């Protein structure tokens, strides 16, 4: 396939720079413990210094893959797909989510919200980053707000972000993995004092699964 054809298909959302796809247990947030098929799309310019998948940042490292191939992989495993990255909203996700829904697969996304929403979602997990804040439009659509806590200032950031989401949005604080020993006790104390929040842990890392 020529580069021109690939570019056209990427623009239409019929191809995506797939980094990896795998069937596992959702490790974080509201849906922790549920089986899901993860689709990790390459490309991100948000630039979190603590990101644990920095190899996802450069989309050129991840070959454009036909959405039909991605959907066929998902159909073999799960009734729920989690689209993540990188930053998946850098790409047009309408075609992907439409075809997942045609196969009775629920669609979840994990996003920083820094790009315009595309796709049709059963669950939106918004995880804002200070380096590139979400667009205004996504806040009221978020089902879940997940703030990564790297230091004490992130509690204040979390409260400011919580003011922008809907009253039905689930609120989570999650320790950044490399700071978990220091920050987890602080998060426990904070949630006990502010019970509108819940604790999210990266349970997949404790379980040693993807």
Write the pLDDT tens digit of every residue in 148-205. Answer: 999 999 999 999 999 999 999 999 999 999 999 999 999 999 999 999 999 999 999 9
pLDDT digits (tens, 9 = 90+) for 8-54: 999 999 999 999 999 999 999 999 999 999 999 999 999 888 787 88
- Check if the beta carbon of residue 125 is closer than 8 Å to that of residue 112: no
Hey, where are the domains in the chain? Answer: 3-207
Mean pLDDT rounded to a whole number for the chain:
95
Measured torsion, CA atoms of residues 125, 89, 92, 20, in degrees rounded to the nearest 10: -80
Answer whether residue 1 shows pLDDT above 70: no
CATH fold of 3-207:
TIM Barrel (3.20.20)
- pLDDT bucket at 5, cuts 50 / 70 / 90: confident
**Measured between alpha carbons, how far is residue 13 from residues 8, 26, 46, 50, 102 in Å?**
9, 25, 21, 29, 16
Does residue 127 have a cis peptide bond before it, meaning omega lies within 30 degrees of 0? no
């Amino acid at each position: 396939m020529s580069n021109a054809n690939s570019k056209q298909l990427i623009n239409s959302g019929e191809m995506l720079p797939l980094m990896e796809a795998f069937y596992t247990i959702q490790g974080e947030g509201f849906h922790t413990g549920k089986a899901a098929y993860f689709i990790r799309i390459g490309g991100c310019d948000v630039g979190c210094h603590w990101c644990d998948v920095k190899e996802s940042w450069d989309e050129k490292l991840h070959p454009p893959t036909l959405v039909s191939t991605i959907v066929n992989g998902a159909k073999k495993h799960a009734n729920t797909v989690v689209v993540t990255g990188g930053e998946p909203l850098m790409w047009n996700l309408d075609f992907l989510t439409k075809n997942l829904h045609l196969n009775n697969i629920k669609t979840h996304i994990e996003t920083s919200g820094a790009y315009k929403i595309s796709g049709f979602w059963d669950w939106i997990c918004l995880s804002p980053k200070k380096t590139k804040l979400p667009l205004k439009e996504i806040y009221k659509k978020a089902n879940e707000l997940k703030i990564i806590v790297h230091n004490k200032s992130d509690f204040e950031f979390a409260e400011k972000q919580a003011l922008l989401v809907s009253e039905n949005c689930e609120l989570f604080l999650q320790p950044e993995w490399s700071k978990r020993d220091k920050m987890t006790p602080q998060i426990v104390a904070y949630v006990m004092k502010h019970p509108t929040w819940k604790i999210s842990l990266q349970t997949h890392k404790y379980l040693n699964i993807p």
